[in-house]
Each structure stands twice: as C-alpha cells, then as structure tokens.
Amino acid sequence: MTVRAGEDFALGRAVADVEALAAAPLPAGGPVTAEGDPATGEWAATTGDGFRVVPLWESGSFVGVDGAAWDEAQEAGDARLAALTGELDRRWGGHHEVPVHGALLLHQAGEPVPELFAALLDEDCTGNLLVWGPVTAGRRWIAVGVGHSDGDAPLIMAAAVSDRPIIAPDPPAWL
C-alpha cells in the first residue's frame, strides 16, 4: 500500500507532484532508502544515488474483481496515465517508452538490477515507464508508469526523477 491509497486521482495534483519531483534535490550517493508514512508505514517515496520515486495514485484492491470489471479498472488506470502523459508531453515534448520486463525477470531470477528499477519493483511498480529527458535546467530524466504485481494487487502509478538517463536493463541471457 502507498500513501495514495483511498485518494481519488486528480490530474492537476499529479502534474504538480511530477513537477515538484523534477525540481527536488537528489542524493549523490548513499543507500537506496524507502520512506514510509510515520503514522501508517505506507510507502511514500524511495531515494537512491541520483534518483527519487514517489507514488502518484493507487487504485482500490482487485480482490474479487474479475472479468469485465477487472478490464474496466485496468482501462481506467491506463486512461489516468494517458491523461498525465498528455500533460507532460505538452510541457516537455514527446516521451519514449522504457520496458520494465527485463528488470522484472532479472529481479525474479535474483540477478542484479539497476537501483532505480529495483526500487520500482520493490514497491510493486511493474508498469513500463514513459520517459522524458533531459528536462529542466538540471538535466533530469522523468518517468511515469502504472502497473501492479499480480491480479489482486492494486494498480500503482508512480513517478521517478533521475539525474542520469533511464535505460532498460537487458533481459536475462536465458531468454
């Protein structure tokens, strides 16, 4: 669960959160650290060497949801991401897609994964990333994505900022 659980998706807030993320200071080194809400412990952010990841929205649970209702919920999450992507495209120009599948396979196999991707996967953020960059005067790369770890888990929309290009790791050689 994230600090966004139970909140309605608000496009204006999501855009403001991404813009604030793009301007925020980033650590230059140190361990990857997940931050939880002091009261609930729910995931609020993860920072690591040159990056920060935050949740933007969390859907309701998919427990007991199947068939057409599951498809509709998935489509609603995709529509929210498309709306956010449209706003960010207007600000920063076109984006490109970075697949997360290779990182997920490496992670599941116990192989090393770049820290930014490991941080996303550790919080069940498994959707492909839509990436802009470099943007801002500080030459930042921004990514957003929506996904979930299994059929019952909620969708999580997250945003990441990095001071270096966001590039998908190669999938495992055994593929």
Q: What is residue 26's predicted lDDT score, i.e. its pLDDT?
A: 95
Highest-scoring range by mean pLDDT, 16-20, 61-65, 106-110 = 16-20
Q: Which of 30-34, 92-96, 100-104, 146-150 has the lowest mean pLDDT?
A: 146-150
pTM across the whole model:
0.93
pLDDT more than 70, % of the chain:
99
> End-to-end distance of the chain based on CA atoms, in angstroms?
32
147: closest CA among 97, 111, 110, 109?
Answer: 97
The mean pLDDT value for 104-132 works out to 93
pLDDT at 65: 80
pLDDT at 166 exceeding the cut of 80: yes
Residues 21-80 have pLDDT tens digits of 999 999 999 899 999 999 999 999 999 999 999 999 999 888 888 888 888 888 999 999
**In the structure encoding, which two tokens stand for residue 37, read together?**
């809400």
The mean pLDDT value of the chain amounts to: 92
pLDDT grade, residue 175 (50/70/90)? low
Distances in Å between the Cα of 98 and the Cα atoms of 7, 45, 86, 117 are: 27, 21, 17, 11
Give the pLDDT confidence score for residue 30 in this predicted structure.
87
Buried b (16+ CB within 10 A) or exposed e, 156-173: bbbbbbbbbebebbeeee
Distance CA 173, CA 171 (A): 6
